Structure 1
Amino acid sequence: MTSPADVETLRARLAEQMPRLRADLEDLVRIESVSADPARAGEVRRSAEATAALLRGEGIEDVRIVAADGGAPAVIARRPGPPGAPTVLLYAHHDVQPEGDHAAWGSPPFEPTERDSPGGRRLFGRGAADDKAGIAAHLGALRLLGDELAVGVTVFVEGEEEVGSETLPALLAEHREALAADVIVIADSTNWDVGVPALTTSLRGLVRADVTVRTLTHGVHSGMWGGLVPDALIALSRLLATLHDDTGDVAVAGLHTGPAADVDYPEERLRAESGVAAGVDWIGTGSAVERLWTRPALSVTGLDAPAVDGASNTLVPAARAKISMRIAPGDTAASAAEALTAHLHAHAPWGAQVDVRVVDTGEPIAIHAEGPAYDVARGAFADAWDGVAPVDLGVGGSIPFIAEFLGAFPDAAVLVTGVEDPDTRAHGADEGLHLEDFARVVVAEALLLARLADGSAPTS
């Protein structure tokens, strides 16, 4: 019998299985499992049930829908391996981001649609990539191996990743024994480019805070009191301006910075992928990948102030801003939140009252991606991508739940993989899954599972 670890065998099997796998993915995309919308809690539940049904359809008998502390439903499916075989945990999430303005989409967001795009055909739809394609990749790998699967597999599909995984620690604690594994594959990140695979080895953390500046107990006439009394909007603007120096580097003292991998990120690609407007300069110092992966970044993502239309000639008594700060691996969320809060209080202009409320945090991570399991993964990816070796990359965004897995299972080898690419547009309009790369992801995961069973010791 041909070895299941043979890449051409798996590709042939996938060609037969792909129509069914595509249909299952498209059915999942049609479920509006927006975890941030309480009105669609029923859809989130329906998404969990559909995921559980797909896993049962693979002959997995131990499939459960679970929840903790009133959180969204998650799915745990367990298929034991032969005695002495390693256990691999396959993670994805079935909840999705809000779709936003339907008019911004080229096709209805919850009706999966295949269209041409730069670089190849894509399947467009909310969750088509992030992260229902992760579920489909796990299903596809299991189908390619079938009864030849020789490792234990646990599939864990979370239902609230897009709202911060608030109850994940409770789920991991409650189901620790069921979720314990030697290797953890987290299919929720990105590849370096279309046709170039990647393993994510670092992610920045997150501190989000609401800052309110007050200068008056109530609004007063701008003509009567302007020139003597500061208005809160000007005070807030001046305060926000202190958060960066003249080069655009974050000016909050006490934040960690570090080196990044020596990866070339060409200027034309940066501009195309970022969507930066013509003529706009980059901010900050250091290499592009350092600024994106291993240095802090700070943005103002929202403002509460009177609208321009209909504004009266009144000094604004209070104004509020939402600050999103990304923190580098090597920092901690608690330390960074304390540094940001101290900076905002210390730089309050004209004695303005400043209130800082930390809304949520996520820890940065750095994975020491060395050892047999990582060697097997890199080989599997290179074979699935026709000899293109995977890039070890950092991600500027945050996936806080990865730190939870690292803390819960410190002896496991954690492989952060994904089905996305720089033009996936996850969270935005026209989110799309690159279909050719999706096929490579499925083959790579099947190769990984087969080769881990062939005798590669899965130790971190």
Structure 2
Amino acid sequence: MSADPIAETIASLLPRAKAELAELVSFASVADPAQYPKSECEAAARWCADTLRAEGFTDVAVLDTPDGTQSVYGHLPGPAGAPTVLLYAHYDVQPPLGLDAWDSPPFELTDRDGRWYGRGAADCKGGFIMHLLALRALKANGGVPVGVKVIVEGSEEQGTGGLERYAEANPALLAADAMVIGDSGNFREGLPTVTATLRGMTLVRVRIDTLEGNLHSGQFGGAAPDALAALIRVLDSLRSDDGATTVDGLDADQSWQGLQYPEADFRQDAKVLDGVELIGTGSVSDRIWARPAVTVLGIDAPPVVGATPSVQAGAGALISLRVPPGEDAAAATRLLIAHLEAHTPWGARVSVEQAGQGQPFRADVTSPAYAAMADAMRVAYPGEEMQTSGMGGSIPLCNTLATLYPEAEILLIGLSEPKAQIHAVNESVSPEELERLSVTEALFLRNYAAG
């Protein structure tokens, strides 16, 4: 770690940061009232707002966004004539995917094997703590040299677009010269990385019905159309024999130019079982950063335990489609819906409902802010140079920001390196990465102010 006073200050602040992250992780802020009480998200939003007020932010507000969730905003005025930088994170998290699957309770920050475990520790409650550390370090070493706006979203994981629509209706709110989106991650722990592209996404719910009610499989099976079997046929049509995504009319042979992801490293990071092949063709980077990817997120069907010998009258699924840069998410959604309808067999009744959508994003890595970030990373990660990668996931707000503020420079950094296992059980954050990236952000703000 650098001997810069900023780094020394942040190292001294880590115990406080750990305690605050533990408080924030303790809120089960899954933005889905069908799974967790809405009060958990509201409590997390209040915590973020109170923390910003304690840091001297003005105009702190808990914003009620059109999708029924809340985002937190605050403004820290800078010196006269200084640029303004927007810092983004989100406090909503993915569901824990089964409490019993975790080695420690998902909503209790647990120190184990040199990492801090808990849902949202990296994605993205840790991102908010990273912003706080950077600002506190600057305050302790001469002051924050830029104006700062902070926005902490409450529905990023759901993709329901609340903050995007709020920003579109209130375009002055998030206006800034540069924007640091603290919701991506280094390509590998210890390798400083900015994310240049994001895939967009669309979520759809498909429902297939064939009968007025379930039937005895012995009495009617073989002639009665099984809705679950029809759904399986439809879902299978979304992949070629090698597992590549196949949506009628959607381009799926794009290539990634830049940092490559060695297959052996990917297999290890993804924890692919011995003997199991990767899916698709092209390089790993092509497949996860430059091409569409369909995933079946869930199926409504009887569980094995308690199942009866029945022909199913209805079945449903939730489907995610990641949309690469260069494609329009709305157009991809239309193609996906048309594909599902066209591939439903036996004249079964099919209905498809869009559940969420976000556009892909591509940053301009030649802008001056990227030079300031590269200098900051060079100090925070001695002996390393800034790398540029893609990210297969989506941050729907990014494209909205790019559209609303075309002159703003947008940079993506964060704590979600491969070992973090975001969206999976046993999510964790590296305290060393939190420390180094907080130093990076503080130095970036100082560099950016200097011009």
Q: TM-score when scaled to structure 1?
A: 0.90
Deviation of the 1:66 alpha carbon: 2.6
Task: Please tell me whether the aligned partners of residues 128 and 152 of structure 2 are also in contact (alpha carbons under 8 angstroms).
Answer: yes
Say if 2:66 is the partner of 1:54: no
Deviation of the 1:225 alpha carbon: 4.3
Deviation of the 1:417 alpha carbon: 1.0
Report the 3-state secondary structure (helix = DSSP H, G, I; strand = E; otherwise coil) of the residue aligned with 1:114: strand
Corresponding residue of 1:35: 31
Unpaired runs of 5+ residues, structure 2, are: none
Task: Please tell me whether the aligned partners of residues 7 and 447 of structure 1 are also in contact (alpha carbons under 8 angstroms).
Answer: no
Deviation of the 1:175 alpha carbon: 4.3
Deviation of the 1:435 alpha carbon: 0.8
Where do 1:76-115 residues align within 5 Å? Answer: 76-115=73-112
Corresponding residue of 2:134: 141
Q: Against the structure 1 CA distance between its residues 300 and 386, is the aligned structure 2 distance closer, same or farther, given a 3 Å change threshold?
A: same
Deviation of the 1:221 alpha carbon: 4.5
1-structure distance, mates of 2:27, 2:317: 34
Q: Which amino acid aligns with 1:247?
A: D
Of residues 444-453 and 164-173 in structure 1, the stretch that sits farther from structure 2 once superposed is 164-173
Corresponding residue of 1:189: 184
2-structure distance, mates of 1:307, 1:20: 45
1-structure distance, mates of 2:315, 2:368: 54
Corresponding residue of 1:167: 162
Q: Against the structure 1 CA distance between its residues 224 and 353, is the aligned structure 2 distance closer, same or farther, given a 3 Å change threshold?
A: same
Of 345, 350, 355, 1:354 maps to 350
Deviation of the 1:36 alpha carbon: 2.1
Corresponding residue of 1:458: none
Of 247, 252, 256, 2:247 maps to 252
Task: Please tell me whether the aligned partners of residues 161 and 357 of structure 2 are also in contact (alpha carbons under 8 angstroms).
Answer: no
Corresponding residue of 2:383: 387
Deviation of the 1:379 alpha carbon: 1.9
Report the 3-state secondary structure (helix = DSSP H, G, I; strand = E; otherwise coil) of the residue aligned with 2:432: helix
Task: Please tell me whether the aligned partners of residues 165 and 401 of structure 1 are also in contact (alpha carbons under 8 angstroms).
Answer: no
Q: Which amino acid aligns with 2:4?
A: E
Say if 2:65 is the partner of 1:68: yes
1:269-316 Cα distance to aligned partner (Å, 9 max, x none): 212211222211111111111111111111222222334444444433
Q: Which amino acid aligns with 1:239?
A: V
Report the 3-state secondary structure (helix = DSSP H, G, I; strand = E; otherwise coil) of the residue aligned with 1:135: helix
2-structure distance, mates of 1:305, 1:70: 28
Corresponding residue of 1:26: 22
Task: Please tell me whether the aligned partners of residues 256 and 327 of structure 1 are also in contact (alpha carbons under 8 angstroms).
Answer: no
Q: Which amino acid aligns with 2:293?
A: A
Q: Against the structure 1 CA distance between its residues 246 and 149, is the aligned structure 2 distance closer, same or farther, given a 3 Å change threshold?
A: same
1:387-436 Cα distance to aligned partner (Å, 9 max, x none): 31222111112221222222222211011111121011223222111011
Corresponding residue of 2:200: 205
Deviation of the 1:263 alpha carbon: 2.6
Q: Against the structure 1 CA distance between its residues 102 and 304, is the aligned structure 2 distance closer, same or farther, given a 3 Å change threshold?
A: closer
Report the 3-state secondary structure (helix = DSSP H, G, I; strand = E; otherwise coil) of the residue aligned with 2:384: coil
Deviation of the 1:165 alpha carbon: 4.9
Q: Which amino acid aligns with 1:287?
A: S
Say if 2:297 is the partner of 1:301: yes
Q: Let me know the Cα RMSD of the aligned residues.
A: 2.2
Q: Across the two proteins, how many residue pairs are aligned to each other?
A: 446
1:154-180 Cα distance to aligned partner (Å, 9 max, x none): 111222223325321343145432321
Q: Against the structure 1 CA distance between its residues 350 and 397, is the aligned structure 2 distance closer, same or farther, given a 3 Å change threshold?
A: same
Of 243, 262, 265, 2:261 maps to 265
Unpaired runs of 5+ residues, structure 1, are: 1-5, 456-460
1:310-365 Cα distance to aligned partner (Å, 9 max, x none): 44444333322222221211111221122122222222323333322222222112
Q: Against the structure 1 CA distance between its residues 83 and 267, is the aligned structure 2 distance closer, same or farther, given a 3 Å change threshold?
A: same
1-structure distance, mates of 2:260, 2:199: 19
Rg (Cα) greater in structure: 1
1:1-23 Cα distance to aligned partner (Å, 9 max, x none): xxxxx862211222222222332
Of residues 127-136 and 156-165 in structure 1, the stretch that sits farther from structure 2 once superposed is 156-165
Where do 1:296-335 residues align within 5 Å? Answer: 296-335=292-331
Task: Please tell me whether the aligned partners of residues 362 and 399 of structure 1 are also in contact (alpha carbons under 8 angstroms).
Answer: yes
Deviation of the 1:151 alpha carbon: 1.1
Q: Against the structure 1 CA distance between its residues 74 and 337, is the aligned structure 2 distance closer, same or farther, given a 3 Å change threshold?
A: closer
Task: Please tell me whether the aligned partners of residues 122 and 427 of structure 2 are also in contact (alpha carbons under 8 angstroms).
Answer: yes
Corresponding residue of 1:3: none
Q: Which amino acid aligns with 1:134?
A: G
1:354-382 Cα distance to aligned partner (Å, 9 max, x none): 32222222211222222111111122122
Of 125, 150, 154, 2:149 maps to 154
Report the 3-state secondary structure (helix = DSSP H, G, I; strand = E; otherwise coil) of the residue aligned with 1:271: helix
2-structure distance, mates of 1:70, 1:271: 37
Report the 3-state secondary structure (helix = DSSP H, G, I; strand = E; otherwise coil) of the residue aligned with 1:282: coil
Q: Which amino acid aligns with 2:134?
A: A
Q: Against the structure 1 CA distance between its residues 216 and 183, is the aligned structure 2 distance closer, same or farther, given a 3 Å change threshold?
A: same
The percentage of counterpart residues that share the same residue type is 42
Corresponding residue of 2:280: 284
Of 167, 174, 179, 2:174 maps to 179
Q: Against the structure 1 CA distance between its residues 104 and 363, is the aligned structure 2 distance closer, same or farther, given a 3 Å change threshold?
A: same
Q: Against the structure 1 CA distance between its residues 280 and 74, is the aligned structure 2 distance closer, same or farther, given a 3 Å change threshold?
A: same
Say if 2:432 is the partner of 1:443: no
Moved over 6 A (4+): none
Task: Please tell me whether the aligned partners of residues 261 and 393 of structure 1 are also in contact (alpha carbons under 8 angstroms).
Answer: no
